Chains A and B, each alone.
Chain A
Amino acid sequence: MSGTGTHDAAPLLQVTDLRVSFGAVKAVDGVSFDLRPGEILGLVGESGSGKSTVGRAVLRINRVSSGSIRFEGTEVTGLSPHALLPLRRRMQMIFQDPRGSLDPRMKVGRLLAEPLEIHGLLDRQGRRARVAELLRLVGLAPEAAGRYPHQFSGGQAQRIAIARALALDPALIVADEPISSLDVSIQAQVINLLAELRRSLQVAMIFIAHDLSVVRHIADRVAVMYLGRIVEIADKADLYTRPGHPYTRSLLSAVPLPDPVKERQRSRTILKGELPSPENPPSGCCFSTRCPLRASLGDPPECTATRPQLNETGGGHRIACHFADPAATPASV
């Protein structure tokens, strides 16, 4: 199913040339993207590529070094914590480890009512009804309110964290690897739940994952990050059928296929080595030091001389590579 976010609606979120540095580490180095209301953007890349930092900067959990973040038309980068408070309600986060994000001493009912209390919403009775409603939304029985988080399995705990994120009726949820700590069999439950919530509540999401196969089932658009930059962004159908950036293709080829015959026939290009240090990124294209395409082209000088821009190749598909030619290279997973 493709996006319910309409193409002509004003963007919910506009991120422009976002930069976040920690000392000499440029964790996010010039990232721009839009998000429409109700849209799900998958944000994918290796560990350390800056995905969490983008998500946290959007929610102003991380300091922003420069750039602009407009949420519902308001520039949020310069806002004081006080001015930010009403916007905070509209943006929520879900983390990888649900247990770590839920206070173990609070019963589930309290955990879900707390955001409502903090923002002074609803009376006692109203809050109780809202808690029951939230539990129903995430597929848990009302009785769950009387139990502690540790009494639930990992998948159920993630449902509780999702319910808490929904309490204030947000317009945007940043889900930072929400399924990475769950069994594959349970991951599908959480993915389906988030997809369903998007359909019913029209909540937009930035869904962060290190694995392109996971976001394929939930995202409308996918942005691939490498070393603090977006190297490719496209509608889902485009990205998976015509991946243009050699990094995207490498990420696709790293995903194991649940089919031994195809697995044997497949020619994969597994990237060698690890991410270069973001303190000292390669000159020119940040991917040049590991790029199989550059190697196969005989190391053209452009790759190390100039930083490739995210160029539009049609239909909103943008690729930052001097030599990308998505039409010429169909996907081979």
Chain B
Amino acid sequence: MSAPLLQITDFHLGFRTRRGTVQAVDGVDLVVNEGETVGLVGESGCGKSATVRSILRLLPDKVARYGPGEIRLNDRNVLDLPEAEMRRIQGGDVAMVFQDPMTSLNPVMTVGDQITEYLAAHTDLDRAAMRARVIELLSMVGIPVPEERMTWFPHQLSGGMRQRVMIAMALSCEPRLLLADEITTALDVTLQAQILDLLHALSERLNTATLLITHDLSVVAGMTRRVYVMYAGQIIEEAETDALFAAPAMPYTWGLLRSAPSLDAPLTEDLTPIEGLPPDLAAPPPGCRFASRCPYRREICQSRMPDLRAAPDGGTHRVRCWGAQDVPEGGWLIGTDWREDTGDPRIVADIRAASAMAGTES
């Protein structure tokens, strides 16, 4: 098989702040193959956006420190590419859509002019062909009467329509990789379902690989083939989507699954939240990053950081958790039924008490 479209290897990213370096990405390995849809899931602040924005080097120069590590796109390390080359890639081979389309659209320019400008930068269509293409793109993303809507300004469109415009723009040059960062988080469920359906259909039709970033595991279930779960700057579990949902291996992933409301669960069942707060990435703990919130933790979890290793069910399923790994000092969670056994209640009480005390510094 040829090299993957995107291959991130042991990538680090720090933000310089008054409090020292915030290690937002701490040794991430992630692969997206041609035409594949992959999920990147985790709570707010765990480094998802920092990771994907690094692919296009979109982070503020003043504070972001890229590396060590590699981000290879088509087998070239983007961290070594000159600025001009980066700009060609963005919008060419790689396009990005964000959570809030209002911040990425120009408020004083019509939607049509913005897509036209984008096309002009990346193609050599003439005016007439460009106009036809804009109309084609808008109708492709389900915007009714595109000839009229292209003359509208962003504020005249609803949130869902603006997100469709962003997708139209992102797909206008038929990128090979689409980075979709929480694109449905600000939308109601009906619009979310519409936008996800649209993304699914289009990426399949255009054979676009997609990295779908979200804090909601339910969103990736129906959309992706593989999933990476991220916590506090690290990948803590990765698997094929079916394998991940069939046999999630570690307590953070269990926590995400247990806290998600599901129409499937018995009506009487209470939700089980993940208690506590993520660690401060300016001073992360020495052991497992999740230990401070983990109701199954043991001594070793607080002192030694587990590696990302093969999960007991094998295949490409990997997990960063002492309890889930079949190693001499670990393995106590293998075979645990996470739906039944929700951990040690005394540890849960400790975690609650600790977070009741904490106001996070910022």
Contacts and interface: CB of A to CB of B under 8 A. Distances in A.
Nearest to B272: A188
Interface in B334-362: 352, 355-357, 359-362
A185 interface: yes
B270 A217 contact: yes
Interface string B260-276: 11111001111111110
Interface in A32-68: 46-47
B360 A185 contact: no
Given A210-B189, A213-B262, A250-B190, A240 B267 contact: yes
Interface residues of B, number: 56
Contacts of A272: 194
Nearest to B271: A188
A257 interface: yes
Contact of B261 (A141, A143, A154, A213): A213
Contacts of B257: 258
Interface string B288-302: 000000000000000
B307 interface: no
Interface stretch (B23-31, B87-95, B112-120, B211-219): B211-219
B43 interface: yes
A139 B356 contact: yes
Nearest to B262: A258
Contacts of A139: 352, 356
Query: Which secondary structure dominates chain A's binding surface?
Result: helix
A260 B245 contact: yes
A263 B222 contact: yes
Interface residues of A, number: 57
B43 A183 contact: yes
Given A258-B260, A263-B221, A236 B267 contact: yes
A47 B43 contact: no
Contact of B43 (A46, A185, A270): A185
Interface in A181-228: 183-189, 191-192, 195, 210-214, 216-217
B356 A256 contact: no
A91 B329 CA distance: 55
Interface string A251-264: 11111111111111
B255 A147 contact: no
Contacts of A151: 359-362
Contacts of B33: none
Interface string B203-245: 0000000000001111101100000000000000000011001
A138 to B, nearest CB: 9
B359 A147 contact: yes
Interface string A172-184: 0000000000011
Nearest to B194: A270
Contacts of B264: 257-259, 262, 333
Nearest to A211: B189
B197 interface: yes
Given A47-B188, A210-B189, A251-B189, A260 B267 contact: no
B88 to A, nearest CB: 36
A329 interface: no
B17 interface: no
Contact of B193 (A156, A186, A270): A270
Given A189-B275, A271-B190, A257 B222 contact: yes
Contacts of A216: 261, 263, 267
Contact of B259 (A188, A195, A273): A188
B277 interface: yes
Contacts of A1: 268
Nearest to B161: A274
A153 B276 CA distance: 10
B277 to A, nearest CB: 6
A141 B356 contact: yes
Interface in B308-356: 352, 355-356
Interface string B129-164: 000000000000000100000000000001111000
A213 B265 CA distance: 10
B216 to A, nearest CB: 5
B106 interface: no
Interface in A82-121: none
Contacts of A271: 190, 194
B196 to A, nearest CB: 8
Given A192-B271, A254-B193, A210 B219 contact: no
B245 A210 contact: no
B303 interface: no
A151 to B, nearest CB: 4
B281 interface: no
A185 B362 contact: no
A217 B270 CA distance: 7
Contacts of A270: 190, 193-194, 197
Given A183-B44, A188-B259, A257 B218 contact: yes
B77 interface: no
A182 to B, nearest CB: 9
Most B CB contacts (10 A, CB to CB) among A253, A257, A260 go to A260
Nearest to B244: A260
A149 to B, nearest CB: 9
Contacts of A183: 43-44, 215
B359 A156 contact: yes
B360 A153 contact: yes
A322 interface: no
Given A254-B189, A258-B221, A185 B274 contact: yes
A52 to B, nearest CB: 12
Given A184-B215, A240-B263, A260 B360 contact: no
Contacts of B221: 256-260, 263
A84 B298 CA distance: 56
Nearest to A210: B188
A128 interface: no
14 contacts: A46-B190, A150-B362, A184-B216, A184-B217, A192-B271, A216-B263, A236-B267, A255-B189, A257-B221, A257-B264, A258-B257, A259-B245, A260-B241, A333-B264
Given A188-B261, A212-B263, 7 more contacts: A143-B357, A184-B215, A185-B273, A187-B259, A192-B273, A256-B192, A258-B245
In the complex, the 7 A-B pairs of residues with the closest C-beta atoms, listed nearest first: A263-B222, A188-B273, A210-B188, A188-B271, A254-B193, A189-B273, A188-B259
